[in-house]
Amino acid sequence: MGKRSFAAVGAAVSILALVSACSTAVVPAPPSAPVETPPPAAPEPDPAAPQTSVLDGIYTEAQAERGRAAYDGHCAECHGEELRGGEMAPGLTGVAFRFRWRGLKVADIFESIESTMPPEEPETLGDQAYIDVVAFLLGANGYPAGDRELAADSKLLEGIAVERMPP
Ligand code: HEC
């Protein structure tokens, strides 16, 4: 077990190294600014850098409650009332959640669930119910609620990083 996981980590690290080597190679040269107008002094935001994270209170308690109801109706039969999974489906909290989504964006969670779940009838709950379920899953994984609802807006969700909970 120990050896295998070290090997897996090694493989992951070399893949990462490869990926970052590739992405640095394809970064386009910055567009040259017109000579007459110097570029503005304000630092340009990096569009790739997430603006917020799941630690910032990105959904509301009420939304997570609705998500719980949708989860109970459409997901719990396989993933379990306590989200621990079962013989047929993986758990959705704890290590399973962190391992699956780390380094990704809330958009990835939303789109993945909407396009694949429930397996027999994906995309049947509607955007609002899916995003409510995402809010519920964030709450179940210990991420704090706040005072604004999470919107089913892929562009916005793309800017929210799935950070690890601080210990
Ligand atoms: C009929 C059983 C069943 C139902 C109902 C179901 N799931 Fe799943 N779910 C699965 C199985 C099986 C997998 C593993 C699929 C795989 O790995 O290909 C899975 C995987 C997942 C994953 C991990 C996906 C990934 O990309 O790693 C998430 C998150 C998830 N389900 C959420 C939900 C949500 C939310 C609902 C309700 C809207 C739901 N599931 C309903 C069986 C189910």
Q: What is the pLDDT of residues 19-57, one digit of tens each?
A: 444 445 555 666 665 567 666 666 565 665 557 999 999
Helix or strand (DSSP H, E) at 53: strand 52-53
Q: Which CATH architecture has domain 52-161?
A: Orthogonal Bundle (1.10)
Rounded Cα distance, 76 and 147, in Å: 27
Rounded Cα distance, 160 and 104, in Å: 9
92 contacts: CB under 8 Å, gap ≥ 6: 79, 83, 85, 137, 140
Span 150-167, mean pLDDT?
94
* 71: confidence class by pLDDT, cuts 50, 70, 90: very high
Prediction pTM value = 0.77
Span 77-103, mean pLDDT?
93
Rounded Cα distance, 1 and 164, in Å: 24
Hey, which of 66, 75, 106, 108 would you mutate to test ligand 1's pocket, going by the most ligand atoms within 8 Å of its Cβ?
75
Which residue, judged by its Cα, is nearest atom 8 of ligand 1? 117
Least confident segment among 7-16, 53-62, 138-147: 7-16
User: Residue ranges per domain, the chain?
Assistant: 52-161
CA of 120 to the centre of ligand 1 (A): 10
